[in-house]
Amino acid sequence: MSKLSKAQLKFIGALQLKKYRQLHQAFLVEGEKICLESIEAGWKLLHFYCTESFVEKHQSLLEAQGIDYQITDGNELSKAGSLSTNTQCLAILEMPQKQASASIKHYALALEHIQDPGNLGTILRIADWYGITHIICSTDTVDVYHPKVIAASMGSFLRVQCAYVQLAAYLQNQDLPKYGATLQGESIHQFHFSPRGIILMGNESKGLSVEVQNLCDAQVKIPSFGAAESLNVAMATGIICDNLRRQHPDFS
């Protein structure tokens, strides 16, 4: 067992900031479940730090995958990373090569100016649950490789592709139906979704910009029956995706 060096701690700390993630094309993954999923998915590990108990539990997988690792103390891991509860393992993964937004076979989510990392991570998880594999993000949406996004996604970042684009220009070049979530739209309970399309979700406090709303073919809303002022954007995304899947249960 060895302590993490000052250089290692500095590098891990730097990856909690977007500019250094982009500079090094690397990001943090913390916790047993997500690290194991990352290994099994074949993402490239640059560095892997774990406890003796983790190695004892997963020795066969580490050997089968040819994983080089450094054994350290759980307290070291919790202090080094962004999660104080992580006392098992920490991985530094190489970012996959940037991809242009792929053609959408059935449905995609488009996000404008989502700022909270927890919201983006939860939306990734929702998309994964409902079989939506593409999310289009405006360039001012929080970085998908933010440690809190990765943690909140619970591994769904491995299966849902995020592309960052100039959103208005991207939408102008898309011939798929575009459905914007707004407070003025048609009730989701009566609305009929086409078999293919893009669902647009806006900023936590401001919603979709007027520019993006004007590019929508239709607007939908989740009707309110109580006194709450609004819904969390991730919760609203889940409700809309569920209504979509009720109408179109078979796309994949």
Domain boundary assignment for the chain: 6-94, 107-247
pLDDT of residue 87: 87
Residue bearing the bigger pLDDT, 33 or 84: 33
Judged against a pLDDT cut of 60, whether residue 24 lies above it is answered with yes
Tell me the two tokens of residue 197: 């399309």
Tell me the two tokens of residue 242: 């569920």
For the domain with range 107-247, which CATH number is right: 2.90.10.10, 3.40.1280.10, 3.10.129.10, 3.40.50.1010?
3.40.1280.10
Give me the helices (H) in 68-204, please. 74-80, 117-129, 147-153, 167-172
Residue bearing the bigger pLDDT, 99 or 104: 104
Give dist(CA 15, CA 19) in Å, integer: 8
Give dist(CA 189, CA 243) in Å, integer: 8
Residue 25: closest CA among 37, 40, 14:
14
What is the 3 state secondary structure string of 179-246? EEEEEEEEECCCCCCCCCEEEEECECCCECCHHHHCCCCEEEECCCCCCCCCCCHHHHHHHHHHHHHH
Q: What is the pLDDT of residues 105-145, one digit of tens each?
A: 899 999 999 999 999 999 999 999 999 999 999 999 999 99
The mean pLDDT value for 196-215 works out to 96
**pLDDT band at residue 229 using 50, 70 and 90 as cut-offs:** confident
Average pLDDT, the chain: 94
Fold of 6-94: 60s Ribosomal Protein L30; Chain: A; (3.30.1330)
Facing residues of 157 across strands? none
**pLDDT band at residue 157 using 50, 70 and 90 as cut-offs:** very high
Which distant-in-sequence residues (6+ apart) come within 8 Å of 133 by Cβ?
Answer: 127, 159, 160, 161
pLDDT of residue 15: 97
Give dist(CA 150, CA 157) in Å, integer: 7
pLDDT of residue 100: 54
Question: At 205, which amino acid appears?
Answer: S
Q: What is the pLDDT of residues 47-94, one digit of tens each?
A: 999 999 999 999 999 999 999 999 999 888 988 888 888 889 999 999
**pLDDT band at residue 224 using 50, 70 and 90 as cut-offs:** very high
Residue the block writes with tokens 């891991």: 77
pLDDT of residue 99: 60
